[in-house]
Structure 1
Amino acid sequence: MTTSRYDDPRLEHLPGADADAMALSEVLKDGAIGGFAVDVLKDRTRDEVARGVQRFFTAAAPEDLLLLHLSCHGRKDSRGRLHFAARDTEVDTLEASSVDADFLNDRMEQSASQQIILLLDCCYSGAFVKGMRTRAGEHAVDVAGNLGGRGRFIITSSTSLQYSYEDGERSRDGAKPSVFTTAVVQSLRHGTGDRDGDGHVGAEEFYRDVCDRVRRILPDQTPTLSVNSAIGDLVVAFNPAGPRPNRPAAVEPVTATAHEPVAVTPSTDYPFDPVKGSGYDIGEVMNHLRQVIDLISDPRRTMPVQPPFFPEVSGKRDIGYDKQQVDAHILRHLVEPADFEIALSRLLREQRVALIDEGTLGGRGVTRLRERCQVVGWERLVGHVRTGRTVDSRWAVAYTSTHLCVLDATHLLRIPYRELSSLSVSSTSRWETWSGSNDQAGWGGETEVVTTTVRFGPQKAVFEGFYGELMRDALNDFVAAMVDLRKRHPDWFA
C-alpha cells in the first residue's frame, strides 16, 4: 500500500512513495529473489485500502507467506493510537478517515497464514523542524503494543515510527525514495541479507542488513524488529547469487574472554568527580548519558563513536564532571559486532576509508572498480581508499567482503583476509629538486617522492609519489587493525 498524494493539504505529498512501490514490486516478483504475486494499492481511499487489506489476509492459506509493505504518512490520535493515512484522510477526522492499527492487527490475527511479514515505512509530516530531532517521549508509537500478535515479523523504519533528521538529510524527503525502502530493495536485490551464505535470506538476518544500510546514511535512525510467537527464522527471499561457496559451518557462540570488550549492565549511580575547568558539562552528562551508552552499545553500529562525548566546560572557574571518568564509563559498554562484514565496515569507517553501497552508490567508477577487482557472485565491494573526489580504479586499495584488492596501473593483487600475513609492504623515498621562474623571479625546492611496493607471493604492485605515501599508510593501518581483529575472532579467518 503506497500513498503519495493526499486531499488534505496538511498532509505533505510523498511522490517518492511511487518509486518505492515500483522498485519493491520488481524485486518481490523476481523469481530468483522472491517469486511473490504482487498487488499494489496506490493512492487509494480509506475504504479501498481497508477492503484491499482485508481481502489480502482473508484469501491466504496457512502455508502462504504474506508480506505487506506500507509507505505513507503515520499519525496518532489523541489517545496515542496509530493510524495510516490514505488519500482521503483528513487530519481533523483522523479516526474516521484513516486505516488504524487495530484494524490491521485484527485482519492479521484472523488470517489463516502463519507466516506474515509487515514492513512499515511511515512518517509524520510537520512534527518537527527540519534539522532537529523529535523527542521520542512526546510522539513515540509502541509498534509491538499496537501490532502485537502471533507468527509475525514486523520491521519498522525507526524506533518510534518518526524519522530522525541529521545534517539536513531525512529518511523521507519529498520526491526521493525513502532511505528505509531503498535499503529493503537493495538488500533483496543484491542478496546481502544472506549473512550466513546459505542462499536463503532469513527474516532476522534481513532485518540486520536493512538496519546496517539505513544507519550508514542516517546513523541515528535505527529500524526495529518485533517477532511475535515465531518458531525458527522465517525465509523472506532467496539470494540471487546462490549459496556462498565453501560456506563455513556455524560457529557456536563462546563466552567472551577477559580481554574482549563486553556489554556491561548500566549503573544508575555515576560516581564522577567534579573538576574545575577541564571536565564535561554536568547537565549534558546527566541528560544524555543513557542515550550515548545506548548508541555505543549497539553491535550493528558502523559509525565511529569516540570521545569527546559531551560539551566541555568553558572557563577555569566552571565545574564539570571529570572527562576521563565519564569516557571510561561509556567505553565499558562498547561491544563487538557479531558479523564479519559489520566489523569490517566499522574498521574501515574508523580509518576514514570511503565505504561503498553498490546499490545506491553506482556509477562508472564503482562499476570499473568492481570489474578490476574481479568481484563476482556473492562477493561485494565494501570500501576503497579515496584518492580523489571520484572512484579511481587505476590506482586503488579496495576492500570486498572476502578480499583485500590492491591495484596499480597494470596489476591486481587479490588477497584473502585470512592470508594477510603473507602480504608485505615496503617503501623507499628519494628527494627530487624542482624549479620555476618567470620574468621577475625564480624559485625552487626539494620534494620527497615515496615509492611503495606491495607483494603477495610472486605478484607485486608499485605506487609512487602521492599514491606511494597514501597506499603505504592505508595498508599498514589496515593490516595492523586486522591482526587485532583476528586475535579477537579467529573463527572469522578460518
Structure 2
Amino acid sequence: MAEGRKFALLIGVADSVSGFKPLHCPLNGIAALRDILANPKIGGFDPANISHLPNPSVSQMRSAIGEMFSRCGHQDLVLLYFTGHGVTDEHGDFYFTTQETQTFENGSLNRGTAVDAIFVREEMRKCSSRRQVAILDCCFSGAFPDGVLAMNDQTVDVERQLGGEGRAVLTAATSTQYALEQEGEELSVYTRYLVEGLQTGAAVPDGGELIRAGDLHDYIRDRLKTAAAAMSPQIYAARDGREIVIAKAQIDNELRFRKLIPEYVREDGQISPPGQRVLKRQATEWGISLEALSSSLRM
C-alpha cells in the first residue's frame, strides 16, 4: 500500500424528524464497517482515526466532515461512509439527512436541517489527500413542494456534486433507484456485500492481495445482480480513483472456491466429470476439507 495514515468517518442516520421513513440498518452498518477497518489484517486503520457518528445533528456532521478532511496529508487515505436517506431538492441539489432533517408541510426539504453535498465536495476539494473514497449507501429521492415539478429530470449528477481527481465515489444505486433494506436483515443489501467483500477478501481478484475501490465496486455490483437485480450500484472515479487501495485481502479460500464453481457448471446445471476433477484439485491446493467440497459441489 502507499505510505500514509488512514482516516475514516462513518455516518449512520436511522431517524429524522419528519418526512422520512425510519431505517433499521444504518447503525449496524457503521458498527460493522468500523470493526473491519480497525482490523489490522484487513483495514489496518488506527482506531483513533476512525470516527463513528450515529444519528448526528447538522452541526455534528458538518464539524466531523470538516475535521477529518482537514487532518489529511497528501499520502493519507481518507474514507467517508454514509448510510441513511439521501435527498434532492427541486433544483437537483443533493443533501445528506441528519437526525434533524425534516420537510415542510408542502413536502419540500428544509435545507437548513440537512448537510448539502456541495459542502462535502468543497471539503474534499480542499483536502490535501490524493486518496479519497466516499461510499454512499443511500437513495437520491426527491423532496419537492406539492404541485411543483423539479427543474430537471430529477436525476442527480453525483460525479459533478462529489467527484474529482484522486477520488472514488461508490453509490448503492443510481439517482433514480432506491437502496434497499430487507426485513429481518441487520445490514442493508449494499452494505452486506460491502462488508462481505472486505471481510472475506472476496472482492480482490484471484491472486491479488489488495482490495482496491474499483474491485470492491465490481464485487458488490456482481453480487447484487442476483440478490437485488433492481439495484445498479455506481462508481465515479476520476484518473486513478479505481486504483485507490482500501484494505488488504484476508483470503477466505472456501468462498474463493464457491466463486469458482459457476465457471464449470453446464447448461443443465450439472458439473461435468472433468470440471469436478479440476475443482477437486483446486480444493486440495487451497486446503478445503472434503466436507466443504461436497457441500459446495451440491450448490
Name the TM tier (shorter chain). 0.7 to 0.9
Distance 1:22 1:153 in 2: 22
State the partner residue of 2:83.
71
State the partner residue of 2:220.
210
Q: Output aligned runs, 1:276-425, within 5 Å.
A: 345=262, 348=265, 351=268, 396=294, 398-399=296-297
Structure 1 moving runs of 4+ over 6 Å: 340-343, 376-381
Distance 2:208 2:74 in 1: 25
TM-score (norm 1): 0.47
Q: Which has the higher contact order (CA 8 A, sep 6+)?
A: 2
State the partner residue of 2:121.
105
For the pair shown, the structure with the greater C-alpha radius of gyration is: 1
Distance 1:152 1:25 in 2: 21
Distance 1:174 1:235 in 2: 33
State the partner residue of 1:281.
none
Distance 1:209 1:395 in 2: 23
Asked whether the equivalents of residues 4 and 72 of structure 1 are also in contact (C-alpha less than 8 Å), the reply is yes
Question: Structure 1 residues 197, 51: closer, same or farther in 2, change over 3 A?
Answer: same
Structure 1 residue 153 corresponds to structure 2 residue 158? no
Distance 2:258 2:66 in 1: 40
Give the alignment partner of residue 94 of structure 1, picking from 110, 113, 121. 110
Give the alignment partner of residue 33 of structure 2, picking from 15, 21, 24. 24
Question: Structure 1 residues 375, 76: closer, same or farther in 2, change over 3 A?
Answer: same
State the partner residue of 2:243.
233
Give the secondary structure class of the aligned counterpart of 1:89. Answer: coil
Structure 1 residue 5 corresponds to structure 2 residue 15? yes
Supply the AA of the counterpart residue of 2:34: S
Asked whether the equivalents of residues 87 and 142 of structure 2 are also in contact (C-alpha less than 8 Å), the reply is no
TM-score (norm 2): 0.75
Distance 1:350 1:100 in 2: 50
* CA deviation after TM superposition for structure 1 residue 377, in Å: 9.8
Q: Percent of counterpart pairs with the same letter?
A: 25
Give the secondary structure class of the aligned counterpart of 2:37. Answer: helix
Distance 1:187 1:99 in 2: 29
Determine which structure has the larger helix proportion and give its number.
Answer: 2
Map Cα deviations across residues 369-400 of structure 1 (whole Å, 9 max, x no partner): xxx9996997899xxxxxxxxxxx6995734x
Asked whether the equivalents of residues 182 and 189 of structure 2 are also in contact (C-alpha less than 8 Å), the reply is no
**Aligned-pair RMSD on alpha carbons?**
3.5
Distance 2:24 2:285 in 1: 34
Asked whether the equivalents of residues 11 and 125 of structure 1 are also in contact (C-alpha less than 8 Å), the reply is no
* CA deviation after TM superposition for structure 1 residue 230, in Å: 2.5
Question: Structure 1 residues 87, 394: closer, same or farther in 2, change over 3 A?
Answer: closer
Question: Structure 1 residues 343, 398: closer, same or farther in 2, change over 3 A?
Answer: closer
Supply the AA of the counterpart residue of 2:13: T
Map Cα deviations across residues 433-474 of structure 1 (whole Å, 9 max, x no partner): xxxxxxxxxxxxxxxxxxxxxxxxxxxxxxxxxxxxxxxxx9
* CA deviation after TM superposition for structure 1 residue 203, in Å: 1.7
Give the alignment partner of residue 178 of structure 1, picking from 165, 174, 188. 188
Supply the AA of the counterpart residue of 2:157: D
Structure 1 residue 81 corresponds to structure 2 residue 90? no
Asked whether the equivalents of residues 123 and 172 of structure 1 are also in contact (C-alpha less than 8 Å), the reply is no
Supply the AA of the counterpart residue of 1:94: N
Supply the AA of the counterpart residue of 1:180: Y
Distance 2:192 2:112 in 1: 31
Distance 1:234 1:204 in 2: 8
Supply the AA of the counterpart residue of 2:60: E
Give the alignment partner of residue 41 of structure 1, picking from 14, 33, 53. 53
State the partner residue of 1:490.
none
Asked whether the equivalents of residues 188 and 239 of structure 1 are also in contact (C-alpha less than 8 Å), the reply is yes
State the partner residue of 1:220.
230
* CA deviation after TM superposition for structure 1 residue 19, in Å: 1.0
Asked whether the equivalents of residues 14 and 174 of structure 1 are also in contact (C-alpha less than 8 Å), the reply is no
Give the secondary structure class of the aligned counterpart of 2:81. Answer: strand
Map Cα deviations across residues 52-101 of structure 1 (whole Å, 9 max, x no partner): 10101011111110111000101111101111100001122432111111
Question: Structure 1 residues 6, 103: closer, same or farther in 2, change over 3 A?
Answer: same
Distance 2:91 2:266 in 1: 43
Question: Structure 1 residues 17, 209: closer, same or farther in 2, change over 3 A?
Answer: same
Question: Structure 1 residues 48, 343: closer, same or farther in 2, change over 3 A?
Answer: same
Supply the AA of the counterpart residue of 1:28: L
Distance 2:230 2:195 in 1: 21
Supply the AA of the counterpart residue of 2:159: A
* CA deviation after TM superposition for structure 1 residue 18, in Å: 1.1
